């Protein structure tokens, strides 16, 4: 199956390098104690650019919003339809802090994914040795 593979940049490189070891890192502002997604050069909340670090997430989350895509957004994804695009409230790796990330929910019937469903992180290998973080339903 085909996949559009994300491009790493200087800002996102620590995130993508960690995926080679199947570790999910969340960017964190030590100035205002806010998690940041997607990786940026400055904090969205306090604009600090010299107070950013990375923290590892447990990979547990909850579906906040869900959409089933029946037509691919790109021809490269045509063999994957239908697929789920979801906003996931992800454990950000500090206290009970969560951060909302966009991803796919896989390994399930797309029509059965619901808001509030618990999910766990899973990985899909990319061609260059990195791994793409995805989510699957958590059996409770």
User: Is residue 3 assigned to a domain?
Assistant: no
User: Model-level pTM?
Assistant: 0.91
Sheet with 34-36, strands from edge to edge, namely 34-36, 25-29, 52-56
For residue range 85-96, list pLDDT tens digits in order: 999 999 987 677
- Name the pLDDT band for 77 (thresholds 50, 70, 90): confident
Q: Please check whether residue 18 lies inside any domain of the structure.
A: yes
C-beta of residue 25 within 8 angstroms of C-beta of residue 35: no
5 in a domain, yes or no?
A: no
**Domain region containing 76:** 13-137
Domain count across the chain? 1
8 located within any domain: no
Q: For Cα atoms 89, 139, 130, give the angle at the middle one, nearest 5 degrees.
A: 60
> Tokens 């797309």, residue?
110
- pLDDT tens figures, 22-74: 999 999 999 999 999 999 999 999 999 899 999 999 999 999 999 999 998 88
Residue 30 in domain: yes
Cα dist from 133 to 22, 47, 59, 84, 106, whole Å: 8, 27, 9, 14, 11
Separation of alpha carbons 113 and 104, rounded Å: 11
pLDDT value at residue 58: 92
Q: Is 36 inside any structural domain?
A: yes
pLDDT for 19 = 98
Over range 82-107, report the average pLDDT.
91
């Amino acid at each position: 199956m085909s996949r559009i593979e994300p491009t790493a940049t200087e800002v996102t490189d620590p995130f993508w390098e960690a995926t080679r070891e199947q570790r999910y890192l969340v960017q964190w502002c030590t100035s205002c104690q806010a998690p940041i997604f997607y990786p940026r050069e400055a904090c969205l909340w306090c604009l600090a650019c010299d107070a950013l670090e990375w923290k590892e997430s447990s990979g547990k989350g909850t579906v906040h919003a869900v959409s089933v895509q029946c037509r691919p957004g790109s021809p490269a994804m045509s063999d994957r339809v239908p697929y789920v695009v979801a906003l996931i409230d992800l454990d950000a790796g500090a206290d009970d802090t969560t951060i909302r990330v966009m991803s796919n929910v896989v390994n399930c019937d797309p029509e059965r994914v619901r808001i509030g469903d618990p999910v766990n992180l899973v990985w899909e290998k990319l061609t260059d040795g990195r791994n793409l973080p995805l989510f699957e339903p958590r059996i409770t």
